[in-house]
Structures are given as C-alpha cells and as structure tokens.
Amino acid sequence: GHLRSGSVASGTGAQMDKREFAAGRAWLQKTQIQMANLLGLSPQAVRSFEQGCRSIPPYAERQLLFLLARRRAGNRKRRSCWTVIKCPPPIRARCPAWEFRTGDLCWFVNGTLCRGKAQLNWAAKMKVCRACTMFINTTGLGRTRAAKRRVGRTAAGRQIR
C-alpha cells in the first residue's frame, strides 16, 4: 500500500527492519525490481529483505534513506543540521557535515560530530540519528513514533524545544 505523504513506518532499533524497508519502497512507489535496480541488488535480495530472511546491509539502508530524503525534500529549502540543533561553532568547525556543506544530509556522512563526538560505525551512528529531529524530518523515519514528538538535542547536549 501507499503511505501518507510525509510518513514512513518506523522500526525499533538502529538497523532498518523489513517493515521500514518495505514501507520506504512503497513510499517511493517502486516495484521490487525497480528498487533492486536503484540499490544495485537482485530482485531476490529485495524480496528477502522484505520477508525478513536477510538483514538489510548498511549500504542498502543508506541508499534507501538517501532516496527517501531526496524525494521528501522536493524543491523546498533544506535546513542545515547546525542550524536545527544549534551546533556550537567549535564543534561545527571540526564536523564533516559543515566542511562539506551537507547539513541536510548529516546522517549520511560518517564522522559527523553529533552530540559532540563521532560515532564508531554506521550502527552506532544510526542509533543516534534515528532519535534526531534532523533525521526524522529529512527521511520520515525515526526510532519510534514518540521520537517524532521528542525534544531534539543540540550538539552540546542541551535540550531544545
């Protein structure tokens, strides 16, 4: 089925689950074959992800998240993470999201200084990102529905409203 605009089912962990993957594909309005082509995978791999027979590898998750973010953004002006989370200048100056001006895709870039430090790997990064307002707003995904209502955190760890 087709999801409402701006909404994609959300999983419970740091890694994308079969429901999120299938919901993302549906939201993009792609068949399994079209999704396989976009992700550089076989249609059998896409089917096995959606059936839960295989874990979704980080590279496929990352590509799907990127496609969701670009589709959701459309032509509207994109806000940068350093503005949304009020990142302090000393942290911002060291952050790859700032260096490469990818503030609307900070979750896509490894080594970003979310909450003041870089995460060790993609799974650790996604755990932080899925609770972040920036990620939720750009991809339509979040750790839980409650995370969408939760107050965001700045890079320095202060609460913002």
Per-residue pLDDT of the chain (161 residues; tens, 9 = 90+): 333 334 444 444 578 999 999 999 999 999 999 999 989 999 999 999 999 999 999 999 999 999 998 888 776 778 899 999 999 999 999 999 999 898 889 998 889 998 889 988 888 999 999 889 888 888 887 654 433 333 334 344 443 33
User: What contacts 110, CB < 8 A, 6 or more positions away?
Assistant: 96, 118, 122, 125
CA-based nearest residue to 21, from 49, 53, 59, 63: 49
CB 85 within 8 A of CB 152: yes
Mean pLDDT of the chain: 80
Q: How far lies 60's CA from each of 9, 37, 64, 86, 94, in Å? A: 17, 11, 6, 30, 28
Q: How far lies 125's CA from each of 43, 106, 108, 115, in Å? A: 28, 10, 9, 11
What's this model's pTM, rounded to 2 decimal places? 0.67
Q: How far apart are CA 94 and CA 123, in angstroms?
A: 22
